[in-house]
Structure 1
Amino acid sequence: MQYKTLLFDVDDTLLDFKKGECYALSEIFSTYGITPYERGYATYQAINSSLWRAAEEGEITVDEIFLVRFVRFLEDLHIQDDGVKLDERFRNYVAEKDFSFDGCYDLLARLAPHYELAIVTNGHKTMQEPRLKKAHLYDFFSHIFISADIGVQKPDIRFFEAVEQGMPNLQHETTLIIGDSLTSDMEGGRRFGIATCWYNPNHLPLPKEPVDYIIANYDELEQLLLWQDEMRIAIAQDNSTECLYFVGELQELPKLAVDFNEAVAEIKALGFLPTTKQICDYTITLQEQVRI
């Protein structure tokens, strides 16, 4: 498949949000004497996660998150202060340094001459744009779509309809979304009818949801973008319902080891990537019963 348009998520795909968040919270906790860090983080994370889940469901807006999360945080810790102003300080801290992942800048520099690159992010302009600029990534993108500007969050189809309206050259069959979130990036791409690429550097368990490509690093993204003709292979065990799916580029069906784990390692060594789309051109059934 020859893709022409690449839609990139920002947080934990291009920029290490967790690292920026840790820096910002450490500065805030130090100000208020909140110790240990884990205590303050657990309180903040419980509040923040629930609010962002509500935003993905369309129940609240990003602006509303900024208005209430640190208000609740301070209330839970019995601290008297202005939570709205504290949220602004938090966002400024997150944007204060370059928290891009290693290799991110070089990846985009290689891709930009050959693809139309766009940002698709749940967040706010006042936070996302300064962070992209601080990391020197901003100019690689022809378009930047931010949920607070659009009025709805990924995976809402209206977010992607706004992307389509803003990118007249976008064609569904040649567009790929790359992101770390199954619930916003991958689900949003599925609803929009474009190919999905899950960035999974921490090797989390494979999801049940259909995802076209699963990558662990940027090299694998560049690898799949070079494929001309894809081959989808299922590796199954005889007399078992266990089956794993892979996608790659080969001219002929490979001969794999009988042991299931060895066969999986061999197919990965040939450049194949995991996929959870249960479609295949070939099924390789291993005759020996082996433990997965």
Structure 2
Amino acid sequence: MKNRITDIFFDLDHTLWDFEKNSALTFQKIFFKNKLKVNLDQFLDSYIPINRLYWRLFSEDKVLKEDLKYNRLQESFMKIDYKIEDEVIHQLSEDYVMHLSEYNFLFDDTHEVLDRLSSIYKLHIITNGFKEVQHLKLKNSKIDHYFNTVITSEDVGVKKPNPLIFEKALADAKVHSSKSLMVGDNLEADIKGANRAGLESILFDPEDKISHHGYKIKTLKELETLLT
């Protein structure tokens, strides 16, 4: 594979940028800011699976962006029986997006691996995340300079796994799909979506929970073994 690949496309959240860790720190901050006495661990136990569900629905165009932002919070508070007014949920929703990019923990070896790969390949980002925060995440975590192009679903008007977002990314990168590789954590959006668009793929599964017959890694460091 490495002998014909020239361009590598990465997902951002859950692949390079440690979403769960940064999200937890953001909730800690905005709960304090809004004077909410919420057990953070209990809230996150509810929020994490609900958030993942809404992102899947969002990627399938079954919910709107504003519905995702509100409903994931409203349902999480409901699940832990925490009474909260709609006005506060809307404020938390805005505060969360505003503060999320202030925390920028990356997965282990991200800088080292990107530094090595960028000396051999052209690197790119394809993300379904909200445009207003994805660029800030890249900049604030000091990895933006590694990427030649950054494509968000809001730029294109469709989300992964829709082939159109991969086609747009390939066009912007000026590379053919046969010379391209996608690295991401989501089997449907990143891996199957990329494969349908003609790209090779590597699944990033740090907890080794996803059954997959193709290339799979548990650490980013393994990319160096496969690609250098």
TM-score category by the smaller chain? 0.7 to 0.9
User: Post-superposition shift, 1:130?
Assistant: 0.7
Structure 2 residue aligned with 1:175: 180
* Structure 1 gaps, min length 5: 227-292
CA distance in 1, matches of 2:91, 2:157: 23
RMSD: 2.2
Higher helix share: 2
1:44 aligns with 2:47: yes
Deviation (angstroms), 1:67: 5.1
- Looking at secondary structure, tell me which structure has more strand per residue: 1
Deviation at 1:177, TM superposition (A): 0.4
Call closer, same or farther: CA 1:32–1:50 in 2, change over 3 Å.
farther
Rate the CA distance shift 1:61–1:187 in 2: closer, same or farther, 3 A. farther
Greater relative CO, 1 or 2 (CA 8 Å, sep 6+): 2
1:63–1:148 CA contact under 8 A, matched in 2: no
Question: What's the TM-score, normalizing by structure 1?
Answer: 0.69
User: Normalising to structure 2: TM-score of the pair?
Assistant: 0.87
Q: Deviations over 1:135-156 (max 9, x none)?
A: 1101111100111222221111
| Alignment-mate amino acid for residue 57 of structure 2 | A
- Identity percentage of aligned residues: 28
- 1:52: how far off? 1.1
> 1:46–1:106: structure 2 CA closer, same or farther, 3 Å change rule?
closer
CA contact (8 A) 1:11 1:17 kept: yes
Question: What is the deviation of 1:181?
Answer: 1.1
Cα distance in 1 for partners of 2:124, 2:19 equals 19
Tell me which of 191, 201, 211 is aligned to 1:186. 191
> 1:146 maps to which residue?
152
2:23 maps to amino acid: E
Displacement, 1:73?
5.1
Of structures 1 and 2, the larger Rg is shown by 1
Partner secondary structure for residue 29 of structure 1? helix
Deviation sequence 1:66-97 (CA, Å, 0-9, x none): 35444555677331234333222112332112
Higher mean displacement: 37-46 or 10-19 = 37-46
Corresponding pairs, count: 222
Q: Which runs of 5+ in 2 are unaligned?
A: none
CA distance in 2, matches of 1:27, 1:119: 28
